[in-house]
Amino acid sequence: MTSEQFKAWRKALGFTQAAAAEALGLSKPAVENYDRGVRREDGRAVVIPKVVALACMAIRMGVTDYTE
């Protein structure tokens, strides 16, 4: 998943960065970095882990968590 795809996913679901962070169990700075495609601290490219991409797909498909 590219940063452009991540940002499109977030916007398609109407998530703010804070809401996306909560839904994915990430920090808001991590979501900000994924949106930008680079880390704010040092400008290095960000690689979105496959587990995050899969979680995005699951949320889009309406999969609920399994904590029940």
In this predicted model, what pLDDT tens digit does every residue of 1-30 receive, in sequence order?
999 999 999 999 999 999 999 999 999 999
Beta-carbon contacts of 10 under 8 Å, excluding residues fewer than 6 positions away, are: 17, 20, 31, 35
Q: Provide the H-helix boundaries in 1-68.
A: 3-12, 17-24, 28-36, 50-61
For the chain, the structural domain boundaries read 3-61
Mean of pLDDT values over 48-54:
96
pTM: 0.86
Give the number of other CB atoms < 10 A from CB of residue 21: 19
Domain 3-61, CATH homologous superfamily name and number: lambda repressor-like DNA-binding domains (1.10.260.40)
